[in-house]
A and B are shown apart, each in its own frame.
Chain A
Amino acid sequence: MEILVTGILLSGTYALIALGLTLQYGVARIMNLANGETLVAGCFVAFWLYASFAISPIYGLLIIAPAAFALNWAIYRFALRPLVNRAKNRGMLEVDSILATFGLLFLLQGLMLLSFGGEYFSYTFLAERFVLFGSAYGLNRVVAFAAAVVIALALYLFLYHTRHGTAVRAVAADPTSANLVAIDVARTAAFAFALGGALTACGGALLSTFYTFNASMGVVFTMKALIIVIMGGVGDIRGAVLAALILGVAETAVASLIDPGLTLAATYTLFILVLLFRPQGIFGRQTT
């Protein structure tokens, strides 16, 4: 039970990060391998706001989200759009975007290493006991989870109940047809990429309240997010949330029952199972 609750609490932040990536890959068709760096940047900014200005990470989201939105929009507009335009086919764009986002990954990581060094950081925020089903959990984890749920719900409402959100989903489903019904595909893609970055940064800010972080841990989170996205099915919101839950619980279970050093092995086992049996994702349907 304790494992289950800890796992679920962890999965809230995972879900946000994965939702960010699934928007970027599903709508903008860019496999953003620098996603984890956006997350780490979110961690550091939240830390900086809290340590220097005593701004609570929750209010910090109001600064972090728009900043990350703007930064990711700029990255898409100036670094990635040229690749989209020059690619002759999907395969070429895939290779180019992978290499370009690798470049961003190292560049951002290098800049953060320069500014913050390689040490681990953490800060104390709401480190109180919170009793749930007879066991105690960190209040910060519970608050982070609640905030993640609120953000994910807002995203869901936006995507499924607004005009703009429907346009985003249309581009995810089929860019050519979306173009035919007068949706500005290029703008929607840029918007989705930026929104994805904002979600990921929020995930990072929330993560920093209960997790020790350092400048070079981004890649591990990119991995996890990618696996969640693939498990859930690319561009699938419900799938990503469910996959995040599964991953969070599986990781917590392996860490507490077998060995904390084997979390990646747990992630990979899930990944292999998905690749072998449902490469199109949990809810995915084989395309014609």
Chain B
Amino acid sequence: MNLTSHEIRIGLAGAAVAALAATLPLFDQGYYLSISVNIMLYAALCTAWTLFSGPTHYISLATAAFFGLGTYSVGLWINHLPYPVLVGIAALVSASLAGLVGAATLRLSGVYFVIFTLGLAELVRQLVTWAQAKFTTRMGLYVFTDMTEEHIYWMLLALTVAVFITGWAINRSRLGFAMQVIGNDETVAKHVGIDTARAKIVLFMVSGAFIGIAGAISAPRYAYIEPPSAFNPMISFLVVIMALLGGTKRLWGPLVGVVPFTIVMDIVSARFPNHTSIVIGLAFLAIVYFIPNGVTGLIEQARAKWQARQTAVGEEKAA
């Protein structure tokens, strides 16, 4: 493996940011830690989402389904299997579901995919509720562990770092190159020998696995898991908004959206609980009409304009 000096610099900067973020629980154990766990959760979810939806432009609303399966994997077997194994199971189960959904819809146009994933969390919720009512006597599951908020925070941070490293590795791989070609022209992609459907399905499975792991990590936070909270469709929508708000062209783009929007949603749900839907609606509309390429897109545009003006000025001086 040969890294360019540019890549090494970015890697070091990323490591420094991650290390700095890791020290946060040392300063506060209360409100700030709790909101930081939320931010870290959405950071992991949004980057994992962007792994797939960034290059393909397919809008996935399956996040809640994968996340819920992750929490359920932990809830069901926490008394029987060691926790790390459960995280692995969560990844496997979510990836399998992603594979099935992908196989059914990713050969078709984007609309079918959105519609399918739109109802997916609700479908899984119905099935889980039904199975619980039929085969067990209780409606929920208790998850008792000795894990604290700090532990969860650190695990989510590690997960986010893992998503970044995976994203970087994919970009350097055949799969990443294939996605670039597909993003340019799917017809050409097929005719140079790319199995476009397979490439998309694989990527969706990787993304789904990470989201499932995020669910597994979050499970101890809830203590009591029941279908409506585990498969809360709001998670899917929030992830889409935050990722698009930040911008999905780069893997770090979503982070720009995650931090402010998690804080905004925290304030809104605490003070104006009846207005959450309206805020989400307005956020969607704002993204479509004002910042279609996300905040990072705006910054890049401004920079390109500035550079163009600089060169123009330079040329004028030369002339």
Contacts and interface: CB of A to CB of B under 8 A. Distances in A.
A103 B123 contact: no
B175 interface: no
Given A91-B57, A98-B59, A259-B130, A276 B122 contact: no
Interface stretch (B30-38, B106-114, B300-308): B106-114
Nearest to B127: A265
Given A102-B237, A106-B284, A275 B274 contact: no
B237 to A, nearest CB: 7
Which of B111, B127, B244, B282 has its CB near the most chain A CB atoms (within 10 A)? Answer: B111
Interface residues of A, number: 45
B108 A279 contact: yes
B275 A100 contact: no
B57 A107 contact: no
B104 interface: yes
A226 B115 contact: yes
A94 B110 contact: yes
Nearest to A96: B288
Contacts of A105: 281
A264 B274 contact: no
Contacts of A264: 119, 122-123, 126
Contacts of A102: 237, 240, 281, 284
Interface string A253-271: 0000001011111011001
Nearest to A280: B108
Interface in B262-319: 274-285, 287-289, 292
Interface stretch (A108-116, A129-137, A138-146): A108-116
Given A105-B281, A259-B130, A265-B127, A98 B275 contact: no
Contacts of A219: 118, 233
Contact of B104 (A91, A98, A216, A276): A276
Contact of B112 (A83, A230, A267): A230
A220 B284 contact: no
A79 to B, nearest CB: 8
A272 B104 contact: yes
Contacts of B288: 83, 96, 99-100, 103
A155 interface: no
A31 interface: yes
A262 B126 contact: yes
Nearest to A269: B123
B281 A223 contact: no
B127 A106 contact: no
B233 to A, nearest CB: 8
A104 interface: yes
A173 interface: no
B105 interface: yes
Nearest to B101: A272
Contacts of A226: 115
B277 A223 contact: no
A227 interface: yes
A99 B111 contact: no
Nearest to A227: B115
Contacts of B171: none
Contact of B126 (A91, A100, A110, A265): A265
A46 to B, nearest CB: 22
Contacts of B109: 94
A110 B89 CA distance: 37
19 contacts: A94-B110, A94-B111, A95-B110, A96-B288, A99-B59, A99-B244, A100-B284, A103-B281, A103-B283, A104-B281, A107-B285, A110-B278, A223-B115, A230-B112, A261-B133, A265-B123, A265-B130, A268-B123, A276-B104
Interface of A: 31, 33, 79, 82-83, 91, 94-96, 98-100, 102-111, 113-114, 216, 219-220, 222-223, 226-227, 230, 259, 261-265, 267-268, 271-272, 275-276, 279
